[in-house]
Amino acid sequence: MSRRILILLAIVTFSTAAFGQMEGNPPNWCRGGFFASESDNFSIGTVKGRRGTRSYFYSDDREDCPAGKNCRARSYVVAGGEVIVNRKFNGFACSWFPGKNGGTVGWLRVETLDMPESLYDASPAAWSGEWEYAENSIKLQ
């Protein structure tokens, strides 16, 4: 099973406790607690560029973010890195990068990503079956 599928499986499996996007939330929000519930159409994005190229995350802390002058965060993904994208907003993609400490969620510029794949059915039924990776397995019904 590909790494991409495992990442998507982890999001669907472990996001059931997250609250859904509450009505009235600003459209520029891209937050971990809402990531899996904001969309039912996820994509895999790969950072474009030569070795060492960085795609920086942008915050949603202020009204002018993610495009505002002081919205760029210190976190970034290097060329070839894969992220899960749940939606787009004004030239930015709300992205989750899995990391050693739980990962990073934030806005990445769409122009820095190659997004050829899309998961159209994120319902639990789409994941039913037995999944294996290395010596690990899980059965979803």
Express each pLDDT in 44-88 by its tens digit.
Answer: 899 999 998 999 999 998 999 999 989 999 999 999 999 999 889
Cα 116 to Cα 108: distance, rounded to the nearest angstrom: 16
pTM of the model: 0.67
The domains of the chain are located at 3-140
pLDDT of 124-133, one tens digit each? 777 778 877 6
The H or E element that residue 129 is part of is strand 129-133
- Cα 85 to Cα 43, 97, 105, distances in angstroms: 5, 9, 10
